[in-house]
Amino acid sequence: MPLIKWLENTKYTKQQQKLARERMRKKKKANNGDGKEENDKMIAAINAVKPDIVLVSLTAPKQDIWISENLQYLDTKIAIGIGGAFEVTAG
């Protein structure tokens, strides 16, 4: 399901969708330009191991946006946003 469709089916309003996307763009720029080079390396590393499932551990809606924008480039059919599950489990 595309991110836009998912957001429309949740409590997010159009204004919240716009703010979430803008925050993601600003954060990417602040961290390392547009983040494309780092993202491409990450996708290449993921594809190198040919996973059946990709678990994305970012905060919402970052993980949903990342999955929506990058699933087509991953050699997997399933990507699941799990939020902070790793951090909680690790203690």
Percent of the chain topping pLDDT 90 = 35
The residue among 56 and 35 whose pLDDT is bigger is 56
Please report how the helices 62-70 and 14-32 are oriented relative to each other, as an axis angle in degrees rounded to 10: 80
Which pTM was predicted? Answer: 0.60
Q: How big is the CA angle at 11 (ends 21 and 64), to the nearest 5 degrees?
A: 40
DSSP characters over 6-46: HHHTSS--HHHHHHHHHHHHHHHHHHHTBSHHHHHHHHHHH
Contact in structure between 61 and 34 (CB atoms under 8 Å):
no
Q: Which two tokens stand for residue 24?
A: 């993601």
Mean pLDDT, residues 29-35 taken together: 60
Taking only the tens place, the pLDDT of each residue in 41-87 is 999 999 999 999 999 998 888 899 899 999 999 999 899 999 888 77
The whole-angstrom separation of Cα 3 and Cα 11 is 13
